[in-house]
């Protein structure tokens, strides 16, 4: 889901809607395809199913060997509650999986800062995003340049998506390479 906002540069600030990013703090401007974490979501779903079923079976065994088993009505009520809880948990897990599996991929322009902030904007036209990268970089190199364009910003759950490269550094100094995972 996308909403329109202004992307503008003025007085050494990059504005994305109401958020401002000092240009001196911008470390990386790039475009990429933002894809949902479908594989990880499927693995997590299978793990959750295993845990839910394991707990349900363990509680069933515990229910069978405790003193409640002598009272048939109590034992049946506990059994129903265990399986009701397991079904509710599995439906929740399936909903989380469904949200990730049905999420769309988006072409985005990302602006990363030296802190933890990342701004994402999107457009249906990848060439437009690539031009915006040039505009932002040019405005960083030439502080007198100002511009304003209308873009779309994403309203997504960031936990459902991959954000560019995952970088793993080995050693504490003299790092010169990157291992993609």
Between 146 and 50, the more confident residue is 50
Helix intervals (H) in the chain: 38-65, 72-101, 126-141
Residue 18 has pLDDT above 80, yes or no: yes
CB 91 within 8 A of CB 45: no
Domain ranges within the chain, ordered by starting residue = 2-36+105-180, 38-101
Residues whose CB falls within 8 Å of the CB of residue 116, separated by 6 or more in sequence, listed in order: none
Q: Give yes or no for a contact between 97 and 91, defined as CB atoms under 8 angstroms apart.
A: no
Rounded to whole angstroms, the Cα distance separating 144 from 10 reads 8
Which pLDDT score is estimated for 2?
53
Q: How far is CA 140 from CA 10, 20, 34, 94, 149, in A?
A: 11, 14, 25, 45, 16
Evaluate if residue 181 carries a pLDDT over 50: no
Top mean-pLDDT range of 97-101, 164-168, 169-173: 97-101
Mean pLDDT across 89-118: 89
Residue with tokens 């701004």: 119
Q: Which residue has the tokens 């009520």?
A: 77
Task: Look at 36 and 89; give whichever has higher pLDDT.
Answer: 89
pTM comes to 0.66
Phi/psi for 156 (5° steps) reads -135, 165
The predicted pLDDT at position 110 comes to 84
């Amino acid at each position: 889901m996308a909403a329109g906002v202004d992307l503008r540069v003025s007085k050494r600030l990059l504005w994305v809607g109401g958020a401002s990013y000092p240009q001196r703090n911008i470390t990386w401007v790039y475009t990429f395809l933002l894809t949902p974490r479908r594989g990880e979501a499927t693995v997590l779903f299978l793990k959750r199913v295993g845990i839910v079923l394991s707990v349900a079976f363990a509680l069933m065994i515990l229910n069978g060997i405790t003193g409640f088993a002598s009272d048939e009505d109590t034992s049946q009520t506990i059994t129903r509650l265990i399986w009701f809880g397991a079904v509710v948990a599995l439906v929740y897990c399936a909903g989380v999986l469904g949200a990730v599996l049905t999420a769309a991929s988006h072409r985005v322009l990302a602006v990363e800062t030296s802190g933890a902030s990342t701004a994402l904007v999107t457009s249906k036209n990848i060439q437009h995003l690539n031009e915006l990268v040039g505009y932002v970089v040019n405005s960083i190199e030439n502080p007198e340049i100002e511009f304003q364009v209308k873009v779309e910003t994403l309203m997504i759950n960031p936990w459902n998506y991959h954000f560019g490269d995952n970088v793993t550094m080995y050693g504490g100094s003299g790092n010169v390479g990157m291992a993609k995972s």
